Structure 1
Amino acid sequence: MIHLAPLYPQLYKILKPSFPDCLWSGKGDRKVVALTFDDGPHPQYTPQLIQVLAQHQAIANFFWLGCCVERSPQIAKEIYQRGNWVGIHGYDHTSFPLLTADALQLSLAKTQAAIAKACDLDPKDIRDVRPPNGLFTPRTLTLLRQWQYRPVMWSVVPEDWVRPGIDVVVNRVMHQVVNGSIIVLHDGAHGGQDVAATVAQLLPLLQAQGYAFVTIEQLWHESKL
């Protein structure tokens, strides 16, 4: 297996200016980071993660798979009620460029509806979308804009889904984090086994460096100021 972790910082530098309509990171003028978690909610790993976040009084952002929300609606509801931000990761983790426009629209709408039902939200308020595997094309972005969604990407990707070890993941994050970083971790079937322990190490280190935790909504708002 080829590990791409060393390439992600370089990819970010290339992709961010190339696709400015996506949210890649905050403006960098404040000591804040956005913790994001993909692929959940998971019936075992996500509740463990919720407890760690609560212990450290940290808020996070969750990009959910519609099929997982339908399986664990109570977990989804608890995450939202605790003040975390929620978004869409597709219905079943199929890469968006592989889908027809109709299939993509259905995947997004089904996930949006599942989140709205679980969290008692207006579907129109669930607009943030992170493409599975980080894969998109210009056409993908055109369609997302057309359907009133907001594409959210990342700036720190420690490749936790291949489970290189908790210390390795934590060290990768701490070496790359800067003001406004959007950090990607996983609480689903791939990488979720370690997520609570990883975050339990990571949060005190970030807090000791003075970082506060913000929502993706806050970063969007600041990007327009």
Structure 2
Amino acid sequence: MASIPVDLYSGFYTAAHQLLSGIFPDCLWQGDPGVPEVALSFDDGPDPRYTPPLLNVLAHHRVQASFFLLGNRVAASAGIVRDIYEAGHWLGLHGYDHRPFLRTAGLRESLEQSRTLVAAACALEPGHLRDVRPPYGIAAPAVLTALGRWGYRPVMWQVLSDDSQRPGVETVVRRTLAQVRNGSLIVLHDGNDGAGDDVARATDRIVATLLARGYRFVTVERFWQVRTSPK
């Protein structure tokens, strides 16, 4: 993706979110816009270099986040997955090997493989793991329908900073804070080709600022509960 000027970034992704969330309403895109809650999420982990420092930051601020894990990284880092879970964070799946969800063929099996690995690391029932975020946010409509039929819940986002392109901590923080509103679902990256060392430092500043602004940090499970509760 070509570089987008920082002052245009918020408007660009706000418009994209409004368009896509209307086209794919069955996905979770945000929480309650009337409540000062935000959900911080991380894709592409676990990573033995980047996830532990990130967990330290979250523990320091006493906030919970949601982690969307890659199946092919879980087996080599099962202890880190367990650390994420035991720290009270929410777990979801990000596919097995970071490929867009373009076809149903083989996808159910790869998701089950990923779910089994995560469940084994945390001594969970596999059915506890229902949330799935397609890599790059790319999924064919037929795949999204199939995910629901298979018992999964597709999760997207509202706030994106392109931190995986490593534009620098200052830029990631500025882009993120410019987009956050009540109910924002934020995505950052702690593994694969993600933000590297920057993710912990950027998260530290983002969380500190949003706490000072009066936001509460919740998991995507809270956003699902809000979405499905009677009005």
Same fold (TM over 0.5): yes
TM-score of the superposed pair, with normalisation by structure 2: 0.94
Name the % identity: 47
User: 3-state SS of the aligned residue for 2:105?
Assistant: helix
TM-superposition CA deviations, 1:124-146 (whole Å, max 9, x none): 11000000011012111111011
Q: Which residue of 1 aligns with 2:37?
A: 32
User: 3-state SS of the aligned residue for 1:222?
Assistant: helix
Structure 1 unaligned blocks of 5 or more: none
Structure 1: distance between partners of 2:38 and 2:95? 24
Alignment size in residue pairs: 223
* Correspondence 1:206 to 2:217: no
Aligned AA for 1:188? Answer: G
Q: Which residue of 1 aligns with 2:71?
A: 66
Give, in angstroms, the shift of residue 107 of structure 1: 1.6
Give, in angstroms, the shift of residue 2 of structure 1: 1.4
Aligned AA for 1:95? Answer: P
User: 3-state SS of the aligned residue for 1:101?
Assistant: coil
Q: Which residue of 2 aligns with 1:140?
A: 143
TM-superposition CA deviations, 1:36-83 (whole Å, max 9, x none): 000000011000000000001011000000011111000000100111
- Given candidates 173, 178, 181, the residue that maps to 2:181 is 178
* Correspondence 1:219 to 2:223: yes
Range with bigger deviation, 141-150 or 188-197: 188-197
Structure 2: distance between partners of 1:106 and 1:159? 30
Structure 1: distance between partners of 2:214 and 2:151? 35
Structure 2: distance between partners of 1:193 and 1:111? 25
Structure 2: distance between partners of 1:210 and 1:127? 30
* Correspondence 1:111 to 2:114: yes
Give, in angstroms, the shift of residue 17 of structure 1: 1.4
Aligned AA for 1:222? Answer: V
Q: CA RMSD in A?
A: 1.2
Structure 2 unaligned blocks of 5 or more: none
Q: Which residue of 2 aligns with 1:195?
A: 199
Q: Which residue of 1 aligns with 2:126?
A: 123
